[in-house]
Amino acid sequence: MKNKKILKVEHVWHEPCDRWIYIEYYDDQMIGLNYCQGDDYEYFKKEYCKVDEGLSEFYAIMCTDYNIEKVSNTRIQFMSKVMWTYHTATILADEHDGNQEPCWRAKVTKYKSLKNS
């Protein structure tokens, strides 16, 4: 997300998931995201108004590979689903990290979409 021109920033309250969402829109059509659970807007502004690079990259992948899900929801609903999925995957990976060999996770250098596989 570095070296990109920010066109717009939004702070969106998504009540159904009890979270604040931080969105940066860039000149190359990419989006930078972060989120904070709970309704404490001051805490959100202080601690979460910066892009989570991993979440943002995951969101871009999900937009490509899960386009039907994307177009079946509002933009915020889809972002929230991506956030839950990302959070769940990282938590489960961390929980099971101690049960694996040190290099168990695949290292991704360039992601290739599965969409056309």
pLDDT score, position 93: 87
Residue 117's pLDDT band (boundaries 50, 70, 90)?
Answer: very low
Q: Is the dihedral of CA 45, 48, 51, 56 positive or negative?
A: negative
pTM of the model: 0.81
Cα–Cα distance measured from residue 20 to residue 42, given in angstroms and rounded to the nearest whole number: 11
What gap in Å lies between CA 66 and CA 70, rounded to an integer? 6
Query: What residues does 19 pair with on adjacent strands?
Result: 14, 37
47-86 pLDDT per residue, tens: 999 999 999 999 999 999 999 999 999 999 999 999 999 9
Handedness of CA 48, 54, 55, 60 (dihedral sign): positive
Mean pLDDT of 1-30: 92
Q: Which residue has the tokens 């990976």?
A: 93
